[in-house]
Amino acid sequence: MQFFLDSANLEEIKSAWEMGIISGVTTNPSLVAKENERDLPSLLTEITRIVDGPISAEVIALDYPGMVREAQELASIHSNIVIKIPQSVDGLKAVKTLAGQGIKTNMTLIFTPIQALLAARAGATYVSPFLGRLDDIGEIGLNLLNDICEIFTVHNLQCAIIAASIRNPIHVLEAAKAGADFATVPFKVLNQLVNHPLTTAGIEKFLKDWQKISAN
């Protein structure tokens, strides 16, 4: 399983990229709005200067012609831009058209295994099942991911699975065990993955012991 950073914050993106652990970035309108950024193309251009890998950017239009138009504009920014399209009838049509034009898509807001299968059949490059948001309404998000991984394996689908709406390290561990191709992880969770209290305590003890001997 590879990692994407789920963020539109340039400092976070730079830091995660420099750690060497992410292959790309995913954004969505909420993450972009959090940065108070109205100019999506210039934000994406900045991200492409930091990250050499897939960068997902979401369309705002909900109708098929509008989605395709926005997708073409965003895709023209850089060859690494992947177009995030929400699951809907118009969204599936847009995915099919964009696949025919060689534009990569990431079908988002996936909450059932069959929505993921439809996205793959329409020609999506990636599907993004949302784990945390299912947990939020009392369902088990990881069940969705396990089902999608099983279906895609049984039917030998090439569409890559991105475990999204990741809220904690357990989501990441279980996504890796399920066979997700990617997990898109918020910066806070990425840091939780790095740190462990015994690692911190171990570093402190090594340093203390070393200082004892070098003081003599």
Residue located via tokens 């850089």: 78
Q: Which of 141, 165, 178, 190 is the binder for ligand G3P (CB under 6 A)? A: 165
Helix (H/G/I), strand (E/B), else coil: 80: coil
The beta strands (E) that lie in 77-181 are given as 81-86, 105-110, 126-129, 160-163
Q: Rounded to whole angstroms, how far apart are CA atoms 70 and 77?
A: 11
Q: Which of residues 192-211 bind ligand G3P (CB under 6 A)?
A: none
Give the Cα separation of 194 and 185 in Å (integer): 12
Residue 106 backbone phi and psi in degrees, to 5:
-130, 105
Q: Interface with ligand G3P by CB under 6 A: which range of 68-76, 85-93, 125-133, 188-196?
A: 125-133
**Active site (annotated) includes residue 205:** no
Q: Which member of 82, 184, 189, 190 binds ligand G3P (CB under 6 A)?
A: 184
Which residue, 132 or 179, is less far from ligand G3P as judged by CB?
A: 132
Residue whose token pair is 């009392």: 138
User: Is 17 or 130 the residue whose CB approaches ligand G3P more closely?
Assistant: 130
Q: Which of 130, 182, 183, 190 binds ligand G3P (CB under 6 A)?
A: 130
So which residues are the catalytic ones? 84
| Site residues, ligand G3P (CB under 6 A) | 6, 26, 28, 128, 130, 132-133, 164-165, 184
